[in-house]
Structure 1
């Protein structure tokens, strides 16, 4: 995959977080990250020291049946014990960082569609048998070797006594499934963990898919919370002392490996959300706050396989991500050409939009219909149809109450999957509708297509959509566009420096990284100042230009040119001709004409000197 497509894939695959309930780690912190905005910036992470994963093909399959409360109760496979015990050799090297999960080799085996389930062995060699990790305590009704040795000396009356003792032991074990603990000394995160643990213990006879899935997600997240793994074990017990670095690493391994065992069992039983979670782990794009690149090697082929299998089970987000993988050829078979990949991408987008009501898929179909899809020989795979495109955009925002009215921020209205209302409306689609109704900034060919379809400029609708998108959904691109409108008096708005600066500031400070174009606009305001609103400040102007360069990873030509100008003239910084030339070169390579001219002038001055 070329660099451009890789950048777009990484941007689009993370555009929509899953419409599941909030991950536990986000509920712990007060400032959970917001939805990434789809401007072209790249955010790739390299895999680090993955624990070896070994694939086995002998798990028993199961089936799920609905329970009385509507949740899926999963039938336990024939072998109810997890496939391998866990043991650990000598403690790993010292150090609190999880980067110590080394000794690793990555699993390079690729899977095809409908491949067998991956199971995960211990990172250490198994030297002796051990019990499965809690809370799954194995109850074995078979007679122990001691009983077998003594059997010949027993009388018939002894067997009844033995049966009573075993019955009492079993009854006592069932009563102790959820032992009462004094949680007064527990931290807030430990109490959250303990609640999920108790629910899992109570569900252990049934293995309800939704309960076990929450347990798996909880284990994955808490394994990377140092405060937890240093003071609590997998059963939620508070330890008598804080663990050392080596002990923490061992505790983390136990938790992680058990999480992957539970996930494997759920996958064996064809639980759709589990397949989707596994796909996100393999693609290193998890919806959970986990450093999974330290545990599982990135494998795009397996990720696509699991996304596709989850999509076949109508997992909404899997349809979208499978479509993105095929659109940008990430993990696709080498013999699948570009047009065939696009056909599969459109198939998954349509399935997500029509069968799963997925707003992300609706948005993607709208974008594809807006431009049309052709192969290298200009043969049409999907005809351009602006009316169909606008229809998809409108469907993606139809749950929006009314254009121009702000939603109640306290509203907890949600879908069955737990998504808040803001997650059931596509701000991207709303922004695209605003652009279409604004009309003027579009390419001439697209303007002509809209005119032929009977769509004309409507500044009122455009402004309503921009404002709704910016205020109701905190969409950074819409906030930046409103800043422009107030700066230059566009869309029938009057020039208002204070409002322009306020909107630019919101967009520039948006999570997770801010909009680089808004940062550059703020830089410009600080450079010139605004009467009775903002005093000129060259240092701030330079700082915001640097932030724009960092946020765009050097790909925003306007930012690179501005920094070159600042360095050349010592504006807000110490003059540095070499640094100026470096940034001018980046801007010139991106097609910035003025940067090219400045480079020529600098070379002429140096040659003349």
Structure 2
């Protein structure tokens, strides 16, 4: 039978309605609603009441419940890592049910949301954290199990929102904006940036830094509301007051374009609090040549007693960002400097290779992904080779360029142009004029105009 020790504590609260699924077209195209005119935030109750229709209350049949055949020496024998994690979170939530500690219950809610989207998990475990004796084979029963988990997750979330727990507003906003860490599938809720913003605003007014950040982004980039950089700055300031480093960084980015001295001050504060993004931007400021001419002029006017560039200070920030934060963009930058002898560094192939490899490993900073330019840097070294260090390997060079093009989804025109040349000449890959033309055209479409002549040269050529 389903254990009601925990769920009974929630029955006094109105059920939260699960959002209707997206249509197939919306799921495939990622179609979003157009920004709406700014309006007063939804009341808390409206956020709950306006969720789309509820799922029916469905339960697993008796035959689908766990038969107690577990090893008494290890009650979780045979459980997967996900199963053990779910069971632990469930047990904590049950023990905490009388107190309903927000942090414990929010963790349980997130666990339910995450693992309800795991196609294998919903076929093997119940909402009580119990492993089924047999894997659910039919999709209909698995779907019912998934709905039970989703419905309960939103019921927990609704109570947390009623308790005005700020991270709960943040999570609800994340569900509406399809931005929740650990979740990649949101078929159960239609994207609605306006409602997401309403939730973020509520969380922000409770002093929650991440909610301030998301609200600021919404106003800065017009998600669910017209663009309003003044409103964005207000929310970023609120978040900075709550020591949110992402808010400090975004505030700095806004001020650099208007009041550069204040922008740099916020970059310094964010970097001191561990922001790799701010650290990298400070490196660019001291490097100077990486800035736009307009920004260079404003910098010189704001600091007439300073001389630019200051390569030593630039390198200090780049090293700190690359080494301490594992920020892939800074790692690529150092690889580039050691390849071409920039910022006063010597040309050093081994160090360049090492930093390029670090940059494509994904880094250790939150949100850092493998760096596409680092992939091109490795391709270049494999193409030419390094005497005594690396033998030329055109196949490996082609592989890295291909990875770069795939990683950027064709948006880095230079990668497609190089691939076009490889396929056109049969370097590192079979000669294929048709494939070469595809890459040349893609490069041209993204602004790499040198590809135009090659498209003409390969037009009508055989594969």
TM tier, smaller: 0.7 to 0.9
* Aligned with residue 322 of structure 1, among 215, 219, 223: 215
TM-aligned CA deviation for residue 559 of structure 1: 0.8
Q: Please give the alpha-carbon distance, in whole angstroms, between the structure 1 residues aligned to 2:15 and 2:294.
A: 62
Q: Deviations over 1:576-601 (max 9, x none)?
A: 22322232233233332422343355
- Please say if 1:81 is aligned against 2:9: no
Q: Residue 260 and residue 532 in structure 1: after superposition, are their counterparts in 2 closer, same or farther (change >3 A)?
A: same
CA contact (8 A) 1:282 1:299 kept: yes
Is 1:365 the counterpart of 2:247? The answer is: no
TM-score, normalised relative to structure 2: 0.81
The structure with the larger Rg is 1
Q: Secondary structure at the match of 1:293?
A: coil
Which of 268, 280, 296 matches 1:447?
296
Corresponding position: 1:118 with 2:10: no
Q: Could you tell me which residue of structure 2 aligns to residue 164 of structure 1?
A: none
Retained in 2: the 8 A contact 1:281–1:292? no
- On the 8 A contact 1:122/1:257 being kept in 2, the answer is no
CA deviation profile, 1:465-486 (whole Å, cap 9, x unmatched): 1111111111111001000111
Structure 2 runs not aligned, ≥5 long: 1-7, 18-23, 60-71
CA RMSD of superposed structures (Å):
3.1
The answer as to 2:75 corresponding to 1:183 is yes
Q: 1:505: which partner in 2?
A: 357
The alignment partner of 1:553 has SS state of coil
Instruction: Note closer, same or farther for the CA distance 1:200–1:533 as it changes in structure 2 (3 Å cut).
Output: same
Question: Contact 2:16–2:48 (CA<8 Å) still a contact in 1?
Answer: no
Instruction: Indicate which of 222, 230, 245 corresponds to 2:115.
Output: 222
Tell me, yes or no, if structure 1 residue 251 matches structure 2 residue 169.
Answer: no
How far the C-alpha of 1:127 sits from its partner, in A, is 9.8
Q: Which runs of 5+ in 1 are unaligned?
A: 1-75, 87-98, 129-179, 372-383, 400-424
Cα 1:127–1:495 change in 2 (3 A) is: closer
Q: Distance in 1 between matches of 2:342 and 2:114?
A: 47
The Cα offsets for residues 31-51 of structure 1, whole Å up to 9 and x where unpaired, read as xxxxxxxxxxxxxxxxxxxxx
Tell me the equivalent position of 2:66. Answer: none
Match of 1:157 in 2: none
Could you say which structure has the higher helix fraction? 2
In the alignment, structure 1 residue 564 sits paired with structure 2 residue 406: no
- Give distance in 2, aligned partners of 1:85 and 1:390: 45
| Aligned match for 2:315, one of 454, 463, 486 | 463
Distance across 2 between alignment mates of 1:181 and 1:501: 51
Alpha carbons of structure 1 residues 580 and 185: separation in structure 2 relative to 1, 3 Å? closer
State the shift of 1:370 in Å: 1.6
Matched, 1:541 2:397: yes
Q: How many residues align?
A: 415
Map of 2:278 onto structure 1: 429
Q: 1:193 aligns with which of 81, 86, 95?
A: 86
Matched residue SS, 2:136: coil
CA apart distance, 1:83: 2.6
Preserved CA contact (<8 Å) 2:112 2:149:
yes
Q: What does residue 397 of structure 1 align with?
A: 271
Structure 1 residue aligned with 2:407: 551
Whether the 8 Å CA contact 1:197–1:236 is kept in 2: the answer is: yes
Residue pair 2:123, 2:136 contacting (<8 A) in 1 also: yes
Secondary structure in 1 aligned to 2:430? Answer: coil
> What is the alpha-carbon distance in structure 2 between the residues aligned to residue 601 and residue 191 of structure 1?
60
Name the SS for the 2:110 alignment partner.
helix
Q: Tell me which residue corresponds to 1:522.
A: 378
Other-structure match for 1:356: 242
TM-score calculated relative to the size of structure 1: 0.63
Instruction: Judge conservation of contact 2:413–2:443 (CA < 8 Å) in 1.
Output: yes
1:103-122 alpha-carbon deviations (Å, 9 max, x no partner): xxx9x9x9961331325687
8 Å contact 1:117–1:268 — kept in the other structure? no
Whether the 8 Å CA contact 2:16–2:155 is kept in 1: the answer is no
Which of 199, 211, 220 does residue 306 from structure 1 map onto?
A: 199
Alignment of 1:404-423 (within 5 A): none
